[in-house]
Structure 1
Amino acid sequence: MQPARVTVRAPAKINLFLRITGRRPDGYHLLSTWMQKVDLCDTIELAVCGEGIRFSCTGDGVPGDRDNLVYRAADLYLQAVRGRDGLPALGAAIELRKRIPVAAGLGGGSSDAAATLRAMNGLFGSALAPDELVGLGLRLGADVPFFLADSPAALATGIGEILRPVPSLQGYSVVLVNPGFPVSTRWAYQTFALTKKEDASNLANLQECVVEDVCWGDSGAMIQPDAPLVNDLETVTVARYPLLERLKGELLRHGAVQALMSGSGPTVFGLFADHHKAEACCAACKSRFAASYLVAPVGEK
């Protein structure tokens, strides 16, 4: 018997590597990126109810209406299964409890959408096949297929939808610091296009993402201390918000092996081989930035 109510967790992600490799005629950017899920999570509770969607959410700056990706994901799902044999005209009551900062470069909205699609499919007897869920996910955002996938880490190409699972990051504590203001992903990509339109190495280089100086193995992935982690969008966002460069420096001074901005920002993260140093760094950052978190990579053994 399928459940009438389910509670799911939606993890955040960090981009350990992000290069813009081109641009499609429709304006979407092609990229190569290494994404890793981390255990900072939103929580979503869903229950079968009468026809339609009843949605509520908690969290600062989070839309509580049809503009929320959770609502849109549930609506798309119900439209897709409406009229299928054996499925009555049902709806869903959904409560979203946000913990991942909004517009932070951590993929919170995409993760919420993916978790909603998977949970709805469980509530409705797996009415849609995995590839159908991915199709719905792509209509909501390019990162949604990554969060739909079981793999905790992947190399992604295309607009982010072509995924190659890779071993999860091992041996690091991760400190996330969000400075408390949002950054629009659309703005970051559009600004990158304007500032880099003459740079053939960025917009015409269609090579597949290759992360050098990383030890890949069945037991996990380890980043070497001198590995050149790169995020092409970092130069765009840091130019507008110089504080981010100072935050990266602070993470490194506290003992981070590496520090980088995630996605389009503004969250920056530090990778710590020493957990005690990570704890001390997170405490120091939290005294000034409330949205500072000590997290672990999902899938770490």
Structure 2
Amino acid sequence: MRLERRELSLVARTPAKLNLVLDVLGRRADGYHEIETVMVSIGLYDTLRFEPESSGRLELSLTGTPARLGIDPSLFPLDHSNLILQAAQLLQTTTGCPQGVRISLEKRIPLQAGLGGGSSDAAATLVALNQLWNLGLTPAELHPLAAQLGSDVNFFLDSVPMAVCRGRGEVIEPHPLSAPLHFVVVKPLGGLSTRDVFQHLDRSVPPRGCEPLLSGLRAGCPRMIGGGLHNALEAPAVSLSSEVAGTLANLRLIPAWGSLMTGSGSSCFSVLAHPVQAARAARRLRAMSDSQVFVVSSAT
């Protein structure tokens, strides 16, 4: 996440993520799932502009029309059901701050994609408004607020390139990336319901853990990295969506270190040795379907 001051405003550039490993360890007493996941930030960004509003109002708008952005308005409401405004309201309520804000969002991270765009935007809102409103909250004070908003928000709050995340996803253990990773990411036209995917999860399948992937990354070994990629939610997503199944099949036609679905879908990706190879793969994939295709590297 990058923050830049422009006159009285703040502009945040906030990344998407990929899950390189995702194990579901069980259901918790609070109804959430206990997970262990390796998340990596990638160079696909939303941009948010925060302008002070003295009346105390919280306003959210999109830069560009939803149709031009390829956004279904029913999937991205601009009212207080949106996680961005929920984050702003949570800060207001927690601190008693009387100030408001006008937020404009340039949306590039696809919706219902498993790329964490909503969580990333919420984290950017917490960090930016803490500064814009001169609240002076420490990271240790922001993290409990992030955990109230969603399972992935804490990862983006820390602005780390890669981390092992546990609990609901809110317990963050940063891990260094010794070299950048390069990806081609494919977002099918359709999305998936996270609830439906979890309901179809085969809970008898044991977790594989993060260490095989982390060992491969430390060694810089493509075979180990590819072998360490796994997502417990991929099988149920494939059973629910022919688009996800077809996307993975297309990705696996292209030489790569490995391919996987991210989060609860519907985006899938391949890891490649070089951005030139990723760009070449993207051209082939665009010819195979109408899906959105992105060439990205791990964010620094």
- TM-score bin, normalised by smaller chain: 0.7 to 0.9
1:65-214 correspondence runs (5 A): 65-82=79-96, 89-168=98-177, 170-192=179-201, 195-196=202-203, 199=204, 201=206, 209-212=210-213, 214=215
CA RMSD of aligned residues (A): 2.2
Deviation of the 1:265 alpha carbon: 0.4
Tell me the equivalent position of 2:242: 242
1:46 aligns with 2:55: no
Indicate yes or no: 2:29 matched with 1:25.
yes
Deviation for aligned residue 1:171? 4.5
Indicate the residue corresponding to 1:6 in structure 2: 10
TM superposition shift of 1:235: 0.6
8 Å contact from structure 1 (residues 272, 278) kept in 2: yes
TM-score (norm 2): 0.87
CA contact (8 A) 1:214 1:223 kept: no
Matched residue, 1:291: 292
Change (3 A) 1:91 1:137: same
Q: Distance in 1 between matches of 2:50 and 2:220?
A: 35
Where structure 1 has 5 or more consecutive residues not aligned to the other structure, the ranges are 84-88
SS in 1 for 2:184: strand
Within the alignment, does 1:56 sit opposite 2:56 as a pair? no
CA distance in 2, matches of 1:259, 1:140: 30
How far has the Cα of 1:222 moved from its partner? Answer: 5.5
Q: Select between 156-165 and 226-235 the one with higher mean Cα deviation.
A: 226-235
Change (3 A) 1:260 1:216: closer
SS in 2 for 1:255: coil
CA shift for structure 1 position 168: 2.5
8 Å CA contact retained: 2:21, 2:231: yes
- Aligned residues with identical type, % of pairs: 34
> Cα 1:221–1:130, aligned 2, differ >3 Å: closer, same or farther?
farther
| AA partner of residue 77 (structure 1) | L
Alignment correspondent of 2:223 = 224
Report the CA distance between 1:172 and its aligned residue: 3.3
Which secondary structure does the structure 1 equivalent of 2:233 belong to?
A: helix
More helix per residue: 1 or 2?
A: 2
Q: CA deviation at 1:253?
A: 2.3
Asked if residue 253 in structure 1 is aligned to residue 253 in structure 2, the reply is yes
1:178-212 deviation line (CA, Å, top 9, x unaligned)? 011121222222332xx43xx2735xxxx964335
Q: CA deviation at 1:34?
A: 0.3
Distance in 1 of aligned mates of 2:186 and 2:25: 27
Between the aligned partners of 1:178 and 1:146, the Cα distance in structure 2 is 22
Q: 1:213 to 1:136 in 2, by over 3 A?
A: closer
Closer, same or farther in 2 for the Cα pair 1:169/1:270, shift >3 Å?
farther
Which residue of structure 2 aligns with residue 86 of structure 1?
Answer: none
How many Å apart are 1:26 and its aligned residue? 2.0
**Aligned-partner Cα distance in 1 for 2:21–2:209:** 12
> For structure 2, which runs of at least 5 residues remain unmatched after alignment?
64-68
